A and B are shown apart, each in its own frame.
Chain A
Amino acid sequence: MLAHSVKRVVGAVPTLFILITLAFFMMRLAPGGPFDAEKALAPEVQANLDRIYHLDEPLPAQYARYLGNVVRGDLGPSFQYQDWTVNELIARGLPVSLRLGVTALVLALLLGVTAGTLAALRQNAATDHAVMTAAMTGISIPNFVMAPLLILVFAVWLGWLPAGGWSGGALRNMLLPVVVLTLPLVAYIARLTRGSMIEVLRSDYIRTARAKGLPERTVVLRHALRPALLPVVSFLGPAIAALLSGSLVVEQIFGLPGIGRYFVQGALNRDYTLVMGVVIFYGSLVIVMNVIVDLVYAWLDPKVRY
């Protein structure tokens, strides 16, 4: 299993390389540059800036220089946020995005699996309908609608929670963003769990378990849940991608200092290095998470062996 994981991670290097190359040239192909402004710069100032940031070199040379730096772990200076390096910006944004993302993911799994299981056990009863209706609502409302709505109710009208900001990650600042990130995921996971749970509960070995007189609790938690979670685990890959893209919106609306914000602003500002840094970081994250998902899958499903 370890050998397999190592192989998978090593196998990701060419993927990352292609990602970096594509991102590098696509960024450069976009019209405009990082130092454009409404009032065009004096040519000598533009020349100086280009020289300072090596933008005066031919593109292949810039690409080679960039790759060399990336291999050494140096993502370069940010073009837009001139006082920071990209490494510093990512290091500062990471804890914020990570806490938001992991909290949302864990909450979504706990709530989603619980709700889905309950719905499956009481199929077509009131609980089931309630959970599924809530789930549909959660899936249907986009986060850019949900977020301002929650802000209006809980921050502006009721005044219970702040309307935005991070305050070092205080719980009251995290609450609304986490809810916005979590809700659609809970909904998906609940639906997935319910579906597969219903299927598993109808299978022969569950009937056997019940026949030998095991309490219902044991039947569900020990025998049914594990196989029922397989689709949920497969969904974790897309879920993490959804969290990343969701965090772009949520960080923007709540004004949180996470990485998602750099991505949008960076692309708009033609901050080449910052966008590249975030792409590399997100790319690596998705690759690593997929490997982890595979491992969890193997642990849950005895049929899968590496």
Chain B
Amino acid sequence: MRRLHPAVVLLLCAFAAVAGCGERERADGPPASVLHRGNAFEPETLDPHRVRSVETFNIIRDLYEGLIAEQPGGELGPGVAETWTVSEDGLTWRFRLRDNARWSNGDAVTAEDFAWSLRRAVHPDTGSYYAQMLSVIEDISVPEPGVLVLHLSGPTPYLPGLLAQPIAYPVHRATVETHGERFTRPGLNVSNGAYRIVEWEAHSHVRVERNLYYWNDERTRIHAVVFHPIEAESTELARYRAGDLHMTRTIPVQQYEWLQRNLSDELHVTPYLSTYFYGFNLTKPPFQGNLPLRKALSLAIDREVLAEQVVGSGEVPAYAWVTPGIDNYETQRPEWADWPRDQRLAEARRLYAEAGYSARNPLRVELRYNTAESHRRIAVAIASMWREQLGVEATLHNEEWQVFLNSRQSQQLEVYRSGWVGDYNDANTFAEAMMSTHGLNDMGWKNEEYDQLVVAAGRERDPAARRELLEQAERLLLSEYPVMPIYYYVSKALVKPTVGGYVPNVMNVHPSRHLYLRD
């Protein structure tokens, strides 16, 4: 008798049950008006007031629109606010909302929506990361329908930049009040941007489709956008090359040269509002009170080699703190930045000796960074430059990210790797980060004059005078060497030639409503 073994039958049944129950396959390839974007991480939340990562901002920017919005080139312009005026003293901003602004359920977007949302954004229960960004707003009022008035504690010329951030986006009050934390879900969420959310499969994708009520919907050309969270850069590249994605968020750095050779038309490398630097712990020896030592170490590294050869994917050597390309600002450079390398090294050796170190009594220092191949390469290069030029004996120590942050914030280290991404296109976002009270200042650098300059710049109404104050603050910072800037980041992305309307910009923002797909 021919009979299958019962175990085999069982296995076959289980296999059929499991493998066979998949949903039907999708049509081959996406339809022309669906844009697929690689977007790094699973969104931590889609609540504009609680969102933290720049990657998730990409989704939020498609779903919502603030009073001010990014235009195709990343510059700021009218969003929900059609026009605005600023009072003589720079303290009162009056926004007139466009009357055709609608939520995705058809409700009108009102000035009260903005007033309520701004208050929600800073309310303790919301637990917002960026609440401090709005601290300049003292009072909010709605004197007449369609008009929102913000009273500020000091003149803030960069207010439009703040208002274009997710923290200042409106949320739909009734939806939030009805659904609580679930208001971001597809089916429940109501948004006011060019798109509305239709699918959110955690760790798979977020799909948004055109909001037909959006005031500028007739200019929206892409019907739907799918954001794919892909953490591994090599996977993102593979999926891009396989045609699954139109745009990547970044590229694997090791593949930079290959991409330059083979996909140069699709590779976009753009200066980005971000600085890679090392911080010195100023609360402990050897760096506490030892300016010559910090300066010697900063002079001894070869930033051209670090940026162009060690990192080597278009990064720019950094001699200063504020990234170049910021509106109404000239990045300051220390005098020695223009010296020839030999002169710099001679000065570095002189300062090293002045600090009390020599070949017989070398500096022994630990260099700490968060675990990543790219950071390790830089740390190795810096340690060897220090050893070669000064005889410093540096040891390397890497830590997993959360452990590293903990070590930094409790100042349990000596020299450490760090980075800063500006929040908006104004020098203030960099100047502020070095103030003694700021959360990035793990160096323990306290300089009253610096703090006063930045505060004074915040009060200054004249743009030229304000700029001078901020530039003066940066010069002061650079002369004190609490940090050692290394390079300015660049944003790197692959964009298919079929994607139109992609304009590289320093903020690296590319709202889908400005893009289109060529046939």
CB–CB A39/B11 < 8 A: no
CB–CB A106/B15 < 8 A: yes
CB–CB A41/B439 < 8 A: yes
Say whether B203 faces chain A, with CB atoms less than 8 Å apart.
yes
Q: Which residues of A contact B405 (CB under 8 A)?
A: 32, 36-38
Query: With A163-B239, A163-B241, A268-B401 given, is the CB distance from A93 to B202 under 8 Å?
Result: yes
Say whether B201 faces chain A, with CB atoms less than 8 Å apart.
yes
CB–CB B235/A253 < 8 A: yes
Minimum CB–CB distance from B240 to chain A (whole Å) comes to 8
Within 8 Å by CB of B14, from A48, A77, A106, A270, lies A106
Tally A-B pairs: CB < 8 A.
191
Minimum CB–CB distance from A78 to chain B (whole Å) comes to 9
CB–CB B18/A106 < 8 A: yes
CB–CB A165/B19 < 8 A: no
Say whether B50 faces chain A, with CB atoms less than 8 Å apart.
yes
| A160-174 Cβ-contact flags toward B at 8 Å (1 or 0) | 001111111111101
Minimum CB–CB distance from B433 to chain A (whole Å) comes to 7
| A189-232 Cβ-contact flags toward B at 8 Å (1 or 0) | 00000000000000000000000000000000110011001000
Q: Which residues of B contact A98 (CB under 8 A)?
A: 18
User: In this complex, which of A83, A172, A270 has the most chain B Cβ atoms within 10 angstroms of its Cβ?
Assistant: A83
Q: Which residues of A contact B182 (CB under 8 A)?
A: 83
Say whether A92 faces chain B, with CB atoms less than 8 Å apart.
yes
| B17-60 Cβ-contact flags toward A at 8 Å (1 or 0) | 01101111110000000000000001111110010100000000
Task: Name A88's closest neighbour in chain B (CB-CB).
Answer: B202
Q: Which residues of B contact A93 (CB under 8 A)?
A: 202-203
Bound CA–CA A77/B50 (angstroms): 15
Task: Name A170's closest neighbour in chain B (CB-CB).
Answer: B25
User: In this complex, which of B14, B184, B203 has the most chain A Cβ atoms within 10 angstroms of its Cβ?
Assistant: B203
Q: How large is the interface on A (under 10, 10 to 19, 20 to 34, 35 or more residues)?
A: 35 or more
Minimum CB–CB distance from B323 to chain A (whole Å) comes to 16
Query: With A31-B402, A93-B202, A99-B19 given, is the CB distance from A83 to B181 under 8 Å?
Result: yes
CB–CB B238/A257 < 8 A: no
Say whether A152 faces chain B, with CB atoms less than 8 Å apart.
yes
Within 8 Å by CB of A270, from B239, B243, B402, lies B402
Q: Which of A75-118 contact B (CB under 8 A)?
A: 77, 80-84, 89, 92-93, 98-99, 102-103, 106-107, 109-110
Say whether B373 faces chain A, with CB atoms less than 8 Å apart.
no
Number of B positions contacting A (CB below 8 A): 68
CB–CB B439/A163 < 8 A: no
Q: Which residues of A contact B43 (CB under 8 A)?
A: 81
Say whether A151 faces chain B, with CB atoms less than 8 Å apart.
yes
Q: Which of B159-210 contact A (CB under 8 A)?
A: 181-182, 184-185, 201-205
Say whether A40 faces chain B, with CB atoms less than 8 Å apart.
yes
CB–CB A257/B23 < 8 A: no
Query: With A49-B127, A106-B11 given, is the CB distance from A81 to B44 under 8 Å?
Result: yes
Minimum CB–CB distance from B206 to chain A (whole Å) comes to 11
CB–CB B14/A102 < 8 A: yes
Q: Which residues of B contact A164 (CB under 8 A)?
A: 230, 235, 238-239, 244
Minimum CB–CB distance from B371 to chain A (whole Å) comes to 10
Q: Which residues of B contact A99 (CB under 8 A)?
A: 18-19, 21-22
Minimum CB–CB distance from B406 to chain A (whole Å) comes to 4
CB–CB A152/B185 < 8 A: no
CB–CB A30/B403 < 8 A: yes
Bound CA–CA A156/B124 (angstroms): 49
Task: Name B421's closest neighbour in chain A (CB-CB).
Answer: A38
Say whether B232 faces chain A, with CB atoms less than 8 Å apart.
yes
Query: With A30-B402, A40-B409, A93-B202 given, is the CB distance from A162 to B244 under 8 Å?
Result: yes
CB–CB B402/A254 < 8 A: no
Say whether A3 faces chain B, with CB atoms less than 8 Å apart.
no
Bound CA–CA A164/B229 (angstroms): 11
Within 8 Å by CB of B201, from A33, A92, A152, lies A92
Within 8 Å by CB of A152, from B5, B238, B409, B418, lies B238
Residues of A within 8 A of B (CB): 30-33, 36-42, 44-45, 48-49, 52, 77, 80-84, 89, 92-93, 98-99, 102-103, 106-107, 109-110, 148, 151-152, 155-156, 159, 162-172, 174, 221-222, 225-226, 229, 252-258, 261-262, 265, 268-270, 300
4 tightest A-B contacts by CB?
Answer: A32-B402, A40-B439, A257-B204, A168-B23
15 A–B contact pairs at CB < 8 A?
A38-B420, A39-B439, A40-B409, A40-B442, A45-B132, A83-B181, A83-B184, A93-B202, A99-B18, A99-B21, A110-B8, A171-B19, A253-B232, A255-B229, A261-B203
**Beyond known contacts A36-B402, A166-B204: 15 more, CB 8 A cutoff:** A38-B420, A39-B438, A40-B440, A92-B201, A93-B203, A110-B15, A162-B239, A163-B242, A164-B239, A165-B204, A168-B23, A169-B21, A171-B19, A172-B25, A265-B42
